[in-house]
């Protein structure tokens, strides 16, 4: 059986590893920047194994970070604040 690829690209990316303690928990993140994401970044939560492509508009979307990272509003408060700074 022949495989049908939609794409198979190799691209240099910039990866930033960030760990910080918030009011309710610790965050261990890997943040990947790539031209593939059209100005957004891929944010990987290393501790919980969840990720999303996030832009400044997504950070402000009510309930979005809570849903993507499966955390409460209180638990995502520090993450939201950090991402606002990162994406501004």
Tens digits of residue pLDDT in 25-72 = 999 999 999 999 888 999 999 999 999 999 999 999 999 999 999 999
According to DSSP, the residues that pair with 44 across neighbouring strands are: 30, 51
d(CA 19, CA 59): 19
Give residue 1's pLDDT.
Answer: 84
Give residue 5's pLDDT.
Answer: 94
Q: Compute the Cα dihedral for 24, 30, 45, 39 and give only its sign.
A: positive
Give residue 53's pLDDT.
Answer: 97
Helix, strand, or coil (residue 38): coil
Give residue 45's pLDDT.
Answer: 97
């Amino acid at each position: 059986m022949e495989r049908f690829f939609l794409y198979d690209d190799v691209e240099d990316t910039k990866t930033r590893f960030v760990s910080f303690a918030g009011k309710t928990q610790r965050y261990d993140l890997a943040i990947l920047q790539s031209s593939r994401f059209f100005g957004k970044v891929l944010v990987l939560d290393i501790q919980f194994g969840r990720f999303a492509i996030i832009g400044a508009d997504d950070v402000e979307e009510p309930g979005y970070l809570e849903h993507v990272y499966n955390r409460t509003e209180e638990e995502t408060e520090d993450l939201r604040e950090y991402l606002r700074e990162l994406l501004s």
